Amino acid sequence: FSGYFKSVVQDGHQHSLQFLSTSNVNLSRAGRPLLARFFQRVELSIDNENVNLTDVVLEFFGGSFPLLYKYASGRSEHLSSRYEKCLRDRMEDIQPFGDHPKQIANGLIEVIKPVQVYLDSLTFAMKIIDGSRLLSFTTGCDPVLLQMTYCSLCKGLSETLKPCHQYCLEVMEKCLAPTLQLQKYWKVYFESLDSLASSLAGEKSV
């Protein structure tokens, strides 16, 4: 199920490469590894909630700053690793990108989080369904369930003959008891869907 969402991320990677290529060839060549790592980690976050997207975005901008600094200043010589580290370390003070990295990180989280919830809910539902296949009726269920076919309600005679309420409850309790263990899992599943619906309530765009 995650393949579609990963393909969207991959398309974003390709569009970004095309944009860089048409903007500046040298900048494009230097920025390709940064872009590749950024989109690889975003793609990884679809299946792995432990990936910190804020760190992913900040790392990308941290790596981009020395490249953009060299491009904007018109320097032709190669920046030393020490100089690049100095630039990255001073980013918090210089704020070359303003508040945009944090805004992009927050926007990315708002987009990826519902995807994670959606995929988790599908996986969880499949596990519940697989678990339900292993359930079996309790001993003695078959004969009492057969007797239920003589129930007035089952025969459509409820208007003239009232079914035995207690007997129906006892049969259902005996036959459906194994399915009760799935109830809490279904509850978690529907709660996750409710969370997903809330996440998708507003339009998200990055």
Dihedrals phi, psi of 193, to nearest 5 degrees:
-65, -35
Model confidence pLDDT, tens digit, residues 103-157:
999 999 988 988 888 888 888 888 777 776 666 666 667 777 777 777 666 666 6
**Claim: this prediction has a pTM higher than 0.95:** no
CA angle 157, 163, 167 (to 5 degrees): 150
CB-facing half-sphere around the CA of 46: CA atoms within 13 A:
17
Asked whether the beta carbons of 161 and 138 are under 8 A apart, the reply is no
Q: Per-residue confidence at 81, pLDDT binned at 50, 70, 90?
A: confident
Model confidence pLDDT, tens digit, residues 20-65:
888 776 777 888 999 999 999 999 999 888 899 999 999 999 998 8
Q: Which residues of 46-78 are buried (b: 16+ CB within 10 A; e: fewer)?
A: beeeebebeebbbbbbbbbbbbbbbeeeeeeee
Residue 166 has pLDDT above 80, yes or no: no
CB-facing half-sphere around the CA of 35: CA atoms within 13 A:
20
Secondary structure element (H or E) that encloses residue 109, with its range: helix 100-133
Residue 201 has pLDDT above 90, yes or no: no
What distance lies between CA 137 and its chain's CA centroid?
Answer: 36
Tokens of 191: 């709660």
Residue boundaries of the structural domains of the chain: 1-112, 135-201
Residue 167 has pLDDT above 70, yes or no: yes
Residue 205 has pLDDT above 60, yes or no: no
